[in-house]
Structure 1
Amino acid sequence: MAPHAHIAVYKALYRSFGGFAADVVAAIDQAAEDGVDIISFSITPNRRPPGIATFFNPIDMALLSAVKAGIFIVQAAGNTGPSPKSMSSFSPWIFTVGASSHDRIYNNYLVLGNNLTISGVGLAPGTVGDSMYTLIAPNHALKNDTTNANDMFLGECQDSTPLDQKLIKGKLLICSYSVRYVLGLSSVKQALHTAKNVSATGVIFYLDPFVIGFQLNPTPMHIPGLIIPSSDDSKVFLKYYNSSLVRDEASKRIITFGAVAKILGGLKPNYSNSGPQVMYYSARGPDPEDSSLSDADILKPNLIAPGNFIWGAWSSRGTDSSEFQGEKFAMISGTSMAAPHVAGIAALIKQKFPEFSPAAIGSALCTTATQYDRQGGPIIAQRTYNSPDSAQSPATPFDMGCGLVNATAALDPGLIFDSGYDDFFSFLCGINGSGPAVLNYTGNSCGTPTINSADLNLPSITIAVLNQSRTVVRTVTNIANDETYNLYWSAPYGVSVAITPTRFFIQKGQKQKITFIINAIMNSSSASFGKVGFYGSQGHRFYFPLSVISKIIYNTTIT
């Protein structure tokens, strides 16, 4: 994302047991001491921090110190979606990134003898030409002295010893992709080794029905093969195979394997997909303010970036994934893949605007994000862990923040919403009962004035509880040439919005305050969303989200 950028790597976690917060804090402190400009932080806590607020935890406080030193922090939102309040990145000084799909997909296909086509995943070549190949399951291809035909390990194709090579040679071997693959107890690589030992033409993995909600990444295979990622498609495939077996009426032995198929390879990418979509696993807002799940007046995530099926450099000696062992690149999914995209773009912004504060970089990223997919429609969010493609709806700011990152536009934002360490310190001091925690983490005592989270100068407005009316002020700074801006907006449902001014001229380097008066016009506990558009006379145009959760137009009292 950022050619010629220098990369510093700090190891604080280990695969076998994870790690300790103290090690992570030490790594952050060392990075700050080394003078880095950006921290890409693909680490989230394994539980919501206890205490008076989620913001008061050792890691977020260490990252606040890094922000004080001028470092921009990018953190993965976490892979705990799609439930509301599943967010694992909490603080306003951290730029939180969710994961989206993109327009590049790798599909291979299985064409059955009954002309049915089933989509699969697998970075594998196809079978040769248009020839159809006989299908055979390992429990139907045992040597004469083998009796344990129902062994799970056998069905997963992890051992070639009991299999009859003469019977399997030239056929497509059927293997069960069970939960043992998910746990790392069985592997595609071992199944391919088994297939090679028995001279199979290729391998077809069907999904065990107990593997629920697990995303299958395209896996490299050096022989024709694919994994059927759908349990429903797997049932259809097995029904075809079993119904095509011809057995001797007396002995019930199989005398003919009638099922045939061919594999259409998946080594070439397909760019016809209409991305992006918010992935089902990407953690969602609203931002939980404390362990009791009260909502914070802070938008999370801040935006989304490509995080699904991402190619990344891989150590050929790495053992984190048996499927990619020996490979130099791996295809991985998660918000940890999305965050580095944004970190790289942040480096480009920092290169162009070296004077930018961390908040200014975040503002440039957020205000220039897009809310539309490649077809011009709204970005869609997957809503269920199981069968995510079957339950989708337009994404809200609690799914995608400001939208999908736009690298080109982020280098010319026009206006920025800036803030600094002192603002975040005042915000922390404004939390009821936070004095001792602030002193403990920062070494400074709270004074006056303090500010509420909704009053932080962020490129968004989020109000957890709108009790009748709220006035919010934002200040923009013009980093481009002199320009006139017109403001247009759509109010969240159940809310009225008045903005002053609705038109202003701003010179380069100057600031402009904008006042928002937000009124509840109905009682509701359901979140609703609007947006404010800034249209500049020199071509700068951006939106920022306006989110209101609970609305109260009056308080009822029982007498």
Structure 2
Amino acid sequence: MLAAFDDAIADGVDVVSFSIEGKLPAPYFEDAAARSFHAMRRGVLTSAAAGNFALFGGCVCNVAPWMLSVAASSTDRRLVDKLVLGNGKTIVRASINIFPKIEKAPLAIPINGSCGTESLAGQSYKRKIHLCDRGSNGTGPLLAGAAGVVVVTGEPDIAFAFPLPALAITQDQFTEILAYVNRTCKPVGTVHRTEATFDSKAPAVASFSSRGPNLISTGILKPDLSAPGIDILAAWTPVSSNLKGNRFATYNIISGTSMACPHATGVAAYVKSFHPDWSPAMIMSGLMTTATPMDPALNPGGGELVYGAGRLNPARARGPGHLRAVTGNNATACPAGGKRGGTADLNYPTMAHRALPGKNFTVHFPRTVTTVGAPGSVYTAKIVSSGPFIRVAVAPRKLVFSRLLQKLSFTVTARGALPAGNEFVSAAVVWSAGVRHAMANLGLRRFAIA
């Protein structure tokens, strides 16, 4: 893996797509973070997966400030399947089912509750729909001659593929099905084929997508942004494995931050094609400051700690108007002299601060921007959603650019005190000049002290 970074740099690539992640972040100068640092020094941006461990106690990984950390979010297309019970009740959930509809097949619960191959051996479950509350990939029911399978999953927003007609449901839905089975003499169900429907709640970050905070440097907000990573049509090699049930194809439906990361990689390459002289930090800034804001109500768990600067916006990314870029010694997220801390003055597109509950704080975030838009642009700052617990100010409130590539500075100051029950407070500074808008997100989080 590390040699692949060196080869990519030697080959002269502009962007490295790094869809490898873990449960927790590694130190900055180990393994991939170290190689991506060398790539950055040679003008190569590394776009990396944020991680798939939110449901297993993990935190966002690939958090080095020179890496673009990408969370996974939904699109407005949702793949759903339906199980219609004999009493007319319809259970709807995300699923991939390309098989013909099963009409009124008997519902069966395995004797010991397991749908494993060994547990089903010797039992009569042919032409029945198996109800599996312990999870199953469908292999056991398939070998037992089942007509279909209903499986409980902890990731209800993902459409799973099975080797037979199937539906992946929540525990609550499974309990509802059991109630019908227990009060019915001959319970039956009908499994429909998958349909593509419109998801009005999109984009929403995936349940599995690893959240912040950044455990290495709490003053650097991670993930950086979100991109499509749920039910993505992706290339698939038939050499690696089949799609279950001896079905081979050159494509598949895949979910994960490893699907979101290539979207960001592609947009980064797209931006680079218009601006070949832009550095990796400039491209990161272009992507992050033009991201589309996301609704925190649809993304519980900490606002920007879930989705970063927002949803990747390819159309706006290539013309952000002005940019912030990590430069000089601060590229290592360390202040001059090598002392610990000091991330607030890192010229990063977003801002974060660790605050203790009930304690007054004041923090300053100095930033320098470079205009890449039309000369004569005048940007005015607006504070968005700072809430009652903090006060956010920007000085100066207006930036007047007289020439291309001119550098101007401003400082964002946040002060206040977070209550004990408030885990996360966020705000945003939006710089506007006509139709151009660039956003700088600010996240303030209360951390428990172990």
* Structure label with greater radius of gyration: 1
Residue 113 (1) aligns with residue 40 (2): no
Residue 404 (1) aligns with residue 346 (2): no
Residue 66 (1) aligns with residue 39 (2): yes
Q: Which amino acid aligns with 2:67?
A: I
Question: Quick check: 1:528–1:549 contact (8 Å CA) kept in 2?
Answer: yes
Question: Quick check: 2:362–2:416 contact (8 Å CA) kept in 1?
Answer: no
In structure 2, the residue corresponding to 1:277 is in which secondary structure?
A: coil
Task: Return the offset for 1:521.
Answer: 3.4
Equivalent in 58, 62, 67 of residue 89 of structure 1: 62
Residue 497 (1) aligns with residue 392 (2): yes
Equivalent in 319, 324, 331 of residue 241 of structure 2: 319
Q: Which amino acid aligns with 1:405?
A: L
Name the CA shift for 1:33/1:179 in 2 (closer, same or farther; >3 Å).
Answer: farther
Task: Return the offset for 1:62.
Answer: 1.4
Question: Quick check: 2:105–2:129 contact (8 Å CA) kept in 1?
Answer: no
Quick check: 150-159 or 116-125, which moved more?
Answer: 150-159
Of Structure 1 and Structure 2, which has the larger fraction of its residues in strand? 2
Residue 308 (1) aligns with residue 230 (2): yes
Q: What is aligned with 1:191?
A: 141
- Superposed, 1:331-370 pairs within 5 Å as 331-370=253-292
Q: Provide the C-alpha distance between the structure 1 equivalents of 2:365 and 2:123, rounded to a whole number of angstroms.
A: 72
Question: Quick check: 2:40–2:66 contact (8 Å CA) kept in 1?
Answer: yes
Task: Return the offset for 1:546.
Answer: 1.6
Name the CA shift for 1:154/1:424 in 2 (closer, same or farther; >3 Å).
Answer: closer
Q: Which amino acid aligns with 2:207?
A: Y
Equivalent in 30, 44, 55 of residue 28 of structure 2: 55
Q: Provide the C-alpha distance between the structure 2 equivalents of 1:264 and 1:81, rounded to a whole number of angstroms.
A: 31
Q: Provide the C-alpha distance between the structure 2 equivalents of 1:191 and 1:505, rounded to a whole number of angstroms.
A: 68
Question: Quick check: 1:99–1:338 contact (8 Å CA) kept in 2?
Answer: yes
Q: Provide the C-alpha distance between the structure 2 equivalents of 1:426 and 1:151, rounded to a whole number of angstroms.
A: 52
Equivalent in 398, 401, 411 of residue 506 of structure 1: 401
Residue 260 (1) aligns with residue 215 (2): no
Equivalent in 130, 136, 159 of residue 175 of structure 1: 130
* Percent of aligned pairs with the same amino acid: 25
Question: Quick check: 2:333–2:343 contact (8 Å CA) kept in 1?
Answer: no
In structure 2, the residue corresponding to 1:280 is in which secondary structure?
A: coil
Q: Provide the C-alpha distance between the structure 2 equivalents of 1:127 and 1:322, rounded to a whole number of angstroms.
A: 18
Name the CA shift for 1:32/1:421 in 2 (closer, same or farther; >3 Å).
Answer: farther
Name the CA shift for 1:158/1:219 in 2 (closer, same or farther; >3 Å).
Answer: farther
Q: Which amino acid aligns with 1:244?
A: T
Task: Return the offset for 1:127.
Answer: 2.5
Q: Provide the C-alpha distance between the structure 1 equivalents of 2:227 and 2:221, rounded to a whole number of angstroms.
A: 16
Q: What is aligned with 1:381?
A: 299
Q: Which 5+ residue runs of structure 1 have no aligned equivalent?
A: 1-23, 140-148, 182-186, 246-257, 290-294, 384-394, 434-450, 552-559
Question: Quick check: 1:135–1:241 contact (8 Å CA) kept in 2?
Answer: no
Q: Provide the C-alpha distance between the structure 1 equivalents of 2:49 and 2:82, rounded to a whole number of angstroms.
A: 33
**Matched pairs, number:** 439
Question: Quick check: 2:366–2:411 contact (8 Å CA) kept in 1?
Answer: yes
Q: What is aligned with 1:477?
A: 370
Task: Return the offset for 1:110.
Answer: 1.5
Name the CA shift for 1:63/1:325 in 2 (closer, same or farther; >3 Å).
Answer: farther
Question: Quick check: 1:492–1:546 contact (8 Å CA) kept in 2?
Answer: no
Question: Quick check: 2:155–2:208 contact (8 Å CA) kept in 1?
Answer: no
Q: Provide the C-alpha distance between the structure 2 equivalents of 1:325 and 1:79, rounded to a whole number of angstroms.
A: 27
Q: Provide the C-alpha distance between the structure 1 equivalents of 2:83 and 2:368, rounded to a whole number of angstroms.
A: 57
- Superposed, 1:63-462 pairs within 5 Å as 63-81=36-54, 86-120=59-93, 121-127=95-101, 132-137=103-108, 152=114, 163=124, 173-177=128-132, 179=134, 181=136, 187-188=137-138, 191-192=141-142, 194-195=144-145, 202-207=147-152, 212=154, 217-219=159-161, 225-245=165-185, 258-266=186-194, 268-289=195-216, 295-319=217-241, 322=244, 326-372=248-294, 380-383=298-301, 396-420=303-327, 422-425=329-332, 427=334, 430-432=337-339, 452-462=342-352
Q: Provide the C-alpha distance between the structure 2 equivalents of 1:41 and 1:493, rounded to a whole number of angstroms.
A: 40
Name the CA shift for 1:460/1:497 in 2 (closer, same or farther; >3 Å).
Answer: same
Q: Provide the C-alpha distance between the structure 2 equivalents of 1:275 and 1:362, rounded to a whole number of angstroms.
A: 24
Question: Quick check: 2:134–2:151 contact (8 Å CA) kept in 1?
Answer: no
Q: Provide the C-alpha distance between the structure 1 equivalents of 2:197 and 2:246, rounded to a whole number of angstroms.
A: 22
Q: Provide the C-alpha distance between the structure 2 equivalents of 1:509 and 1:428, rounded to a whole number of angstroms.
A: 29
Task: Return the offset for 1:322.
Answer: 4.3
Quick check: 85-94 or 349-358, which moved more?
Answer: 85-94
Question: Quick check: 1:478–1:507 contact (8 Å CA) kept in 2?
Answer: no
Q: What is aligned with 1:440?
A: none
Q: What is aligned with 1:530?
A: 427
Question: What TM-score does the superposition give when structure 1 sets the normalisation length?
Answer: 0.70
Q: Provide the C-alpha distance between the structure 1 equivalents of 2:443 and 2:161, rounded to a whole number of angstroms.
A: 40
- The root-mean-square deviation of aligned C-alpha atoms, in Å, is 3.2
Q: Provide the C-alpha distance between the structure 1 equivalents of 2:91 and 2:156, rounded to a whole number of angstroms.
A: 19
Residue 486 (1) aligns with residue 388 (2): no
Q: Which amino acid aligns with 2:444?
A: V
Deviations 1:154-185 (A, max 9, x none): 788965x7548xxx5xxx5122436463xxxx
Task: Return the offset for 1:366.
Answer: 0.5
In structure 1, the residue corresponding to 2:79 is in which secondary structure?
A: coil
Q: Provide the C-alpha distance between the structure 2 equivalents of 1:56 and 1:236, rounded to a whole number of angstroms.
A: 51
Q: Provide the C-alpha distance between the structure 1 equivalents of 2:172 and 2:119, rounded to a whole number of angstroms.
A: 21
Name the CA shift for 1:84/1:303 in 2 (closer, same or farther; >3 Å).
Answer: farther
